[in-house]
Structure 1
């Protein structure tokens, strides 16, 4: 294992200390716990938005704490959930009288700990908390019918949920409205990924799974969860064709619809390869008369140094388009008003 670290045990805390030092005008820790990560700017009367999850996915999750997006993030060890106590401390720090919305990925550990934190926030502090669980990975389960529990993993598409909910909160909408926007975004975002190589968790010191030099796995999750097919490495166009079809098929599209596209690198995929993927996505969408409002290409949700990428489509209407276009200023994502 080759990594630029001091020790596996200090990997997460030293990474956080570096971010705080680099962006003191944007983010700060709560009290002495560096893993309770909040915006340096608090707006009274605004709905607070909190997220959280394991480390190892930068810029997810903490990278989107800042103006126009999230207000706080509880941070666990690599690929491990934060504790309910850490989530509660973040909740208290960002609460300003309008309630708090939790937005996080669909993983059992996160669900258990966030639910416990919400109960404690209500019982101990009288903070009203609502929850939206994002799960948009079309490879991890079949379509979720109305009324059924969503069993899909939350992956890179949660970025769009953060963006729209954060913009809604910045408009000073109430908790019910911010939650509605977050749920609406979840309903309209779909993702699929492909992995070409494993990642190494510092404390473990060895690759988390094995892939042959000439192999790829379609549909693998951001922690190395099994995908839907393992086979020989194909061309960029063939990979995109296989990934994009189930994404498009999962939500009804009509000629003239508009989307935002996210090509997300998983940590070790050059931007050149990501743009080759976007080229093919753009071609397919043009053939289907689906317009691209904006493309996002780069690393938005990684898995340490895993090689691979994911494709996300976010189906837009006028409301979601307006919120997506709103300004944001965070350590890892900056946008002027579009």
Structure 2
């Protein structure tokens, strides 16, 4: 496989150096693997910290900035960051109003964020934690006990980030983040496997002419493999899985997400089919976001995340955000 890298061992460090050069509004600590908004800590504001294995960009480092995260901790590719990173992040963004850890439900992330919370609290930082577990495809996976955390992470970071930007207290920001997670469901589809820099070849075997329904963002197996389907057929399967579990009785925000190797031409066409499928199931769509936001390196495929919303959540969604990966209203 051809990759635009120097050596596999320096991929994350090289990416962080490039991010620092492109985004002077961020503080990028390459040595300690930390990305922090430059004006942190913001007086009186709850700090939001997330992180996870690299390879899912722009999640999480690309969502650091006004209206979303205050800091992100990138691990090695598909590997959890270590507690020391999270403790440093909490200290860097704590204004005295407390820090919320947003954690995707993967075993390494959960264990390390739990340990970091204890260490940070020993240093006098008030910590709250929210677990994101929105993937309806499977109950348990190679990386998880329970449902995986996927596209809803973006919704939690954006909506809780907007509320924190308004100066809401930690308890309220935490409660809203939990509500967003509970109101969100996701389902992913792989058309090809991803390739990690260390391995240099596809991480799993997906024969030509087949797709994986319910795949995880690390290439974990999903519900089943089928022969290749049309965009409309895939949309029906995905929307059925999400709507059946979420059972929305209010409008939704729809995230039509690429896995990293799917061009926007295809994603917008797929979005049309998702909207068609939702309309047929009488699910109103209040907002839509299309693009590569929660990726899996070079995997071809897509995921759909729906978040049921009310007026407050819509207001927070529309609130200004200024990050490398998400920007409007500024």
Q: TM-score, normalised by structure 1?
A: 0.94
CA distance in 2, matches of 1:2, 1:177: 47
What residue is the counterpart of 1:187 in the other structure?
A: 182
SS in 1 for 2:33: strand
TM-score (norm 2): 0.96
The alpha carbon displacement at 1:177 in A equals 0.3
Give the C-alpha shift of residue 289 in structure 1: 3.0
Q: Secondary structure at the match of 1:69?
A: coil
Whole-angstrom CA distance in 1 between matches of 2:85 and 2:149? 21
Q: Which of 196, 206, 217 is the matching residue for 1:211? A: 206
Is 1:129 the counterpart of 2:127? The answer is: yes
Contact map agreement 1:106 1:135 (CA 8 A) in 2: yes
| Pairing 1:1-338 to 2, within 5 Å after superposition | 1-25=1-25, 27-30=26-29, 33-42=31-40, 43-123=42-122, 125-141=123-139, 151-254=146-249, 257-336=250-329
- Per-residue deviation, residues 19-73 of structure 1 (Å, max 9, x unmatched): 0110012x1135x635111111221110000001000010011110000100001
Residues 150, 324 of structure 1: CA spacing in aligned structure 2 closer, same or farther, 3 A cutoff? farther
| Whole-angstrom distance in 2 between the partners of 1:84 and 1:253 | 37
- After the TM superposition, which segments of 4 or more aligned residues of structure 1 sit over 4 Å from their partners? none
> What's the C-alpha RMSD, in Å, of the aligned pairs?
1.4
Contact 1:16 1:34 in 2 (8 A): no
Indicate if the aligned counterparts of 1:17 and 1:34 stay in contact, CA closer than 8 A. Answer: no
**Contact 1:196/1:306 (CA < 8 Å) preserved in 2?**
yes
Residue deviations 1:217-243 (CA, integer Å, cap 9, x gap): 000100011100101111111111111
For residue 12 of structure 1, give the secondary structure of its aligned residue in structure 2: helix
**Count of matched residue positions in the alignment of Structure 1 and Structure 2:** 326
5+ long unaligned stretches in structure 2: none
Shift of 1:244: 0.8
Instruction: Name the SS for the 1:33 alignment partner.
Output: coil
Cα distance in structure 2, aligned partners of 1:219 and 1:104: 21
- 2:27 is paired with a residue of what secondary structure? strand
Query: Quick one: distance in 2 between partners of 1:253 and 1:100?
Result: 31
Contact 2:235-2:277 at 8 Å conserved across structures: no
SS in 2 for 1:303: coil
Confirm or deny: 8 A CA contact 1:13 1:34 kept in the other structure. no
What is the Cα deviation at residue 171 of structure 1? 0.6
